Amino acid sequence: MAEVNIDRLRASDKQAGRRHGGTIAIFAVLLIVGIFMLLPIYLTVIMSIKPVEELFVFPPKLYAVRPTLDNFRDMFRDLNSNRVPFSRYVFNSIFVTVTVTALQCIFCSMAAFVLAKCKFPGSKLINGIIVVALLYQSNVIYIMQYIVMAKLGLIDSPLALILPSIASPMGLFLMRQSISQIPDSIIEAAKVDGAGLFRICWQIVIPNQKPALMTLIIFAFQAAWNIQSGSLVFKEEYKTLPTVVNQAAASGIAKAGVAMAAAVFMLIPPIVIFMLAQRQVIETMAHSGIKE
């Protein structure tokens, strides 16, 4: 990015001053909106480290006078009191999250490439159905999904948490929109060179779709990490982390501190993934994409 700026400055000296002023103005706007966005999360973190007696004093303070990790200790104590060791839930959640994220990315990318770049009988119909599926929200769907899963004998098996989340219409839509920007000529050229669609997809198209793919990873990870066992899995040894963490936190305002600690704790892995993926997105800029 630094080189870009220098290039731009060289390109027009007159603009240089204006650009600097602009950057500062942009920064100011972002900072104001950023404070509004960040304040509730900051408060969440602060309240998770406030001792109980500080939670309800007047006036409420924007910082913890005597920060403590008691809330986290209480949360872990609650979690450890279950019949199944805590590490088992962690393992379950990681297993579900990694499987769902990986399969979703692979299947969605492949299908998105075909739907964006190939015309075949039925492709238009499928493209239409994807958007309709995104818009159709009904509270009966979950019941029907449950019936389908019961018929397949998936209830109370770990697969019940994984399989329904793999084919995400949103993931497919995201990838399809992004892949549609790749010039057809590149795909045609690869075809002339004798590459099959499968190879074109994985060796040419997807490596050039890093920003979209990384964004998909963020979405998929975040959704999968929050999958709750709900009414699908009753065996304690198959339950996921959010299920038990929510149980520990769901005791009303009196346990607000523990609830905040739980929220902070559950937020850490998605943020780590977000940072890793977002860095990849931004690095893409340095090496420009496909050119026609």
Partner 1 sequence: MAQIAAEDIGKRTKQEQRRQLWTAVKQNRECYLMIAPFMLFFIIFTVIPVVMSLPMGFTDFNMVQAPKFVGISNYTTLFLSDKIFIRSIRVTLVFALLTGPVSYMLCFLLAWLINELPPKLKTVFTLIFYAPSMANVYTVWQLIFSGDINGYLNSFLIDWGIINSPIQWLTDGRYVLGVTIVVQLWISLGAGFLALRAGFQNIDRSLYEAAAIEGIRTKWQELIYIVIPSMGPQMMFAAVMQIVSSFTAGSVAQALVGFPSTDYKAHTIMTHAYDYGWVRFEMGYASAICMILFIAMFLCNKFISKALGKYLD
Binding to partner 1, residues 177-236 (CB under 8 A): 177-178, 180-181, 196-198, 201, 211-212, 214-215, 218-219, 222
The nearer residue to partner 1, 92 or 242, going by C-beta atoms, is: 242
The nearer residue to partner 1, 188 or 237, going by C-beta atoms, is: 188
The one segment of 72-80, 119-127, 231-239, 240-248 that binds partner 1 by CB under 8 A:
119-127
Q: How far is the CB of 278 from partner 1 (least distance, A)?
A: 5
Q: How far is the CB of 265 from partner 1 (least distance, A)?
A: 12
Helix (H, G, I), strand (E, B) or coil at 155: coil
The nearer residue to partner 1, 84 or 281, going by C-beta atoms, is: 281
* 67 near partner 1, rule: CB under 8 A: no
CA distance 170 to 113: 14
The one segment of 72-80, 91-99, 107-115, 231-239 that binds partner 1 by CB under 8 A:
107-115
DSSP 271-292: HHHHHHHHHHHHHHTTS-----
The nearer residue to partner 1, 38 or 189, going by C-beta atoms, is: 38
Amino acid (one-letter) located at 193: D
CA distance 80 to 75: 9
Site for partner 1 in 248-287 (CB under 8 A): 253, 256, 259-260, 263, 267, 270-271, 274-275, 278-279, 281-285
Q: How far is the CB of 156 from partner 1 (least distance, A)?
A: 17
| Identified binder of partner 1 from the candidate list 59, 66, 125, 193, rule CB under 8 A | 59
Tokens of 275: 């940072």
CA distance 265 to 267: 5
Sign of CA dihedral 248, 251, 254, 260: positive
CA distance 172 to 216: 9
Q: Max alpha carbon distance in the chain (Å)?
A: 74
CA distance 257 to 75: 9
Q: How far is the CB of 85 from partner 1 (least distance, A)?
A: 27
Q: Is the bond leading into 211 cis (omega within 30 degrees of zero)?
A: no
Site for partner 1 in 142-181 (CB under 8 A): 142-145, 147-148, 152, 163-164, 166-167, 169-170, 172-174, 176-178, 180-181
